[in-house]
Every structure is written in C-alpha cells, then in structure tokens.
Amino acid sequence: MTDHTSLSPDGDGALDFCLRLARAQALMVRRFDSALGNLHGLSFSDYQLLYQLQRAPGARLRRIDLAERLALTASGVTRSLMPLEKIGLVARQADTRDARVGYAVLTAAGQELLH
C-alpha cells in the first residue's frame, strides 16, 4: 500500500509544492496582466504570443508550432490571434506550397510594441 500522507495539501509533499507553484504563477500572471494592460492594452498571454513570434525565424511560426510553444490547442491559438490581428500586431500568412498550412506573422507594429 502506498503512503499518501506526503501528498496531502497540508504536508510538505509534492502536491503541496505543485499547489504553491500554481498559486505563485497565477499571482505573477495577474501582476503582469495588470502592468501590460495599463501600459499597452495587452495581457501576459498576448505578450507571450508576440514574444514567441519575435524569436522565430522571420518573425513567423506555423500556428501549430505556436500552439506547442504556448501549451495551447490549435483553436486556443486561433482565439488568441484574432484580437491581435484586428489591431494589426499579427497577420496571417498562407504557405505558398501547402494551402492547409497557415502562419502567424509579427507585423511591424507588433515589433515596435515589443521594443
């Protein structure tokens, strides 16, 4: 029989550590959301998306690769990109060789905002 006492939220085990880590991450995201929102109208998730595009070769990524880097689903990336496309920070780009492949591209306005 396995001893589960070390995994209780009241103990010093792995579960307690994970819960504390998740809380710390949530507090940091809230703080970044507030600061970025007040300065630039972006969320921390928006910033992470733009940052990943900036770091990519040619400032563009396939949507599926962007989803993997952000730990999102493909539909989650699409939902995240839509408002950024509307305000001109990101653009869509089709692959000339494969119509099924779509890229997200950081625009000049998106580059400027990141700097």
Tell me how far the alpha carbon of residue 89 is from its chain's centroid. Answer: 15
Dist. CA 61–CA 52, nearest whole Å = 8
Q: Give CA torsion, residues 20, 23, 25, 29, to 10 deg.
A: -170
Residue 106: in which H helix or E strand, if any?
Answer: strand 102-106
Sheet holding 60-62, edge to edge: 60-62, 102-106, 90-94
**CATH number of 43-115: 1.10.10.10, 1.10.8.10, 1.10.1060.10, 3.40.50.300?**
1.10.10.10
Residues 51-100: pLDDT tens digits?
A: 999 999 999 999 999 999 999 998 999 999 999 999 999 999 988 888 88
Q: Bridge-partner residues for 102, per DSSP?
A: 94
- Residue 113 confidence (pLDDT) above 70: yes
Give the model's pLDDT for residue 10: 53
- Would you state the structure tokens that stand for residue 106, as one six-digit string? 């950081």
Q: Where are the alpha helices (DSSP H) in the chain?
A: 14-40, 44-55, 63-70, 74-86, 108-114
pLDDT in tens, 9-37: 555 688 899 999 999 988 988 888 787 77
Q: What is the pLDDT of residue 52?
A: 97
